[in-house]
Amino acid sequence: MKTAGKRKRQEGSLTLHFRKYFPYYAMMLPGIIYLIMFKYVPMMGSVIAFKDYSVFQGIWGSAWSGLENFKKLFEYPDFYRILRNTIVLGFIKTFLVFPIPLILALMLNELRNAKMKKAIQTIICIPYFISWVVVGGLVFDFFGVGGIFNNVREALGMDTLLVMQKESWFRPVYLISTIWKESGWGTVVYLAAISSIDPSLYESASIDGASRFQKMRYITFPLLVPTALILLLLNIGNFLTLGFDQVYNLYTPMTYSVADIFDTYVFRVGIQEAQYSFATAVGLFQSVVGLIMVVVFNKIANKVSEDGGLW
């Protein structure tokens, strides 16, 4: 408490302030430099979205092409298809998968056997560390002719069903594989938030005769909402940027019509064909949409909960 008074007096002078807290600023410096180097400097490279970039002429040497690359994207015959797929899969990932870790965390929190809790937590976290390439292989094997899925169907007297080449199955597979791989990891943040809840709240609730369910309903859950909102906001920024590896490792030509998204399209047309300007234009488009969505949802979040927004 003694230092608090001291701090107050010095806050008046900026120079003094810096001198006093110089080590802390110095410690922040690497992080700030990192952000500038790897987040802001590369942003300048986005300029090639408006150029006809050639690796031999460099960024400045390449000719300007105006909005040509964006026109090309919007005129792509399947633009509507990839936009729709991206939005649908983005919706699945952002809104359907999103509550699962929260529910899991609430359930885990009610487990009284600490060993059991740790074990389950570890087991559901492990898939997060497996790459999509491997998960894709597992999923294909799981649904293959000799896979568990078809063995069970066979035992039940049903025909072999090759799920991976059925359009109608792609979205469920996408949803389930996302939950399996990522929700365990998502619970970590919520469990941390739960552990920081003041135990006296639970104590007083117990004295008032609250049941376990009521404690969960009226204490744990409401206190997790701000965390949940922040995580949701962070996810929404990536709404159109689903990540290429999951879809790429799960789709087949037979499911293109529901699975082809911006990222896979960019990979096929931009990266593989070395059309960097075009790939950048698509990336820029995705980011702008992401930014708009973050701003909008931030507004909504601020309305919903007092400090629910990011800013």
Interface ranges with other proteins (CB under 8 A): 22-23, 26-27, 29-30, 33-34, 37, 41, 54-58, 77-78, 140, 144-145, 160, 162, 164-167, 252-254, 256-257, 268-269, 271-276
Handedness of CA 301, 303, 305, 308 (dihedral sign): positive
Q: Which is nearer to other proteins, 33 or 43 (CB)?
A: 33
Least Å from the CB of residue 215 to other proteins: 46
CB of 274 to other proteins, least distance (A): 5
CB of 138 to other proteins, least distance (A): 14
Distance CA 225, CA 218 (A): 11
Tokens of 181: 């791989």
Tell me the three state secondary structure of residue 148.
helix
Q: Which is nearer to other proteins, 53 or 239 (CB)?
A: 53
Rg (CA), the chain: 25
State how far the Cα of 154 lies from the Cα of 147, in Å rounded to an integer: 11
CB of 226 to other proteins, least distance (A): 33
CB of 85 to other proteins, least distance (A): 13
Q: Which lies closer to other proteins via its Cβ, residue 42 or residue 199?
A: 42
- State phi, psi for 51 to the nearest 5 degrees: -125, 165
Of the pair 29, 107, the CB lying nearest other proteins is at: 29
Nearest alpha carbon to residue 248 among 115, 126, 133, 81:
133
Between the CA of residue 186 and those of 183, 216, 232, 250, what are the distances in Å? Answer: 5, 19, 11, 22
Nearer to other proteins, 179 or 259 (CB): 259
* Cβ nearer to other proteins, comparing 12 with 253: 253
Give SS3 for 265: helix
Q: Contact 32/40 with Cβ under 8 angstroms?
A: no
Specify the DSSP element, H or E, that contains 58.
helix 58-61
Closest separation in Å from C-beta 92 to other proteins: 22
The residue among 202 and 244 lying less far from other proteins, judged by its C-beta, is 244
Q: Transcribe 225-291 into DSSP letters.
A: HHHHHHHHHHHHTTTT---HHHHHHH--GGGHHHH--HHHHIIIIIITTT-HHHHHHHHHHHHHHHH
Q: How far is the CB of 163 from other proteins (least distance, A)?
A: 10
Angle at 260 between CA 259 and CA 262, to 5 degrees: 130
48/301 with CB nearer other proteins: 48
Residue 93 CB, nearest approach to other proteins (Å)? 24
Is there a contact between 165 and 139 (Cβ–Cβ < 8 Å)?
A: no
